Amino acid sequence: MDRAACAGMADKGDFRKNGDPFYPSSAAPEAAREGKRICATCPVLAECYAHSLDASSSRQYGTFGGLSEEERRTRQRLKQRAEANERRRKAKAA
């Protein structure tokens, strides 16, 4: 993802001082917000989000696609619940 807004940021070296915006600790909430701000400008946000859902991806953890891992899990649970409800609705209607 050469066009990624975060490309090359790991080499900047100030992550240790301010907290890594993509793997923020709970003690560095500003770092987490900074990661989301960077993602919001990213031209490959949708691809990054889709990639982060891949169970074999190293992007399961941390902030990717503009969301924290907890936010992605919540979004996936809601999507799965909506799909299950839709299947039940169709089964009842048949």
Residue (5 or 53) nearer to ligand SF4, CB:
5
- The angle, 0 to 180 degrees and rounded to 10, between the axes of the packed helices 29-40 and 45-52 is 120
Please tell me whether residue 5 binds ligand SF4 under the rule CB under 6 A: yes
| Min CB(60)–ligand SF4 separation in Å | 13
Cα atoms in the 13 Å half-sphere on the side-chain side of 25: 7
Residue (37 or 87) nearer to ligand SF4, CB:
37
Residue (58 or 80) nearer to ligand SF4, CB:
58
Residue (1 or 78) nearer to ligand SF4, CB:
1
Which residues, numbered 15-74, are part of the site for ligand SF4 (CB under 6 A)?
22, 38-39, 42, 44-45, 48, 64-66
Interface contacts to ligand SF4, rule CB under 6 A: 1, 4-6, 22, 38-39, 42, 44-45, 48, 64-66
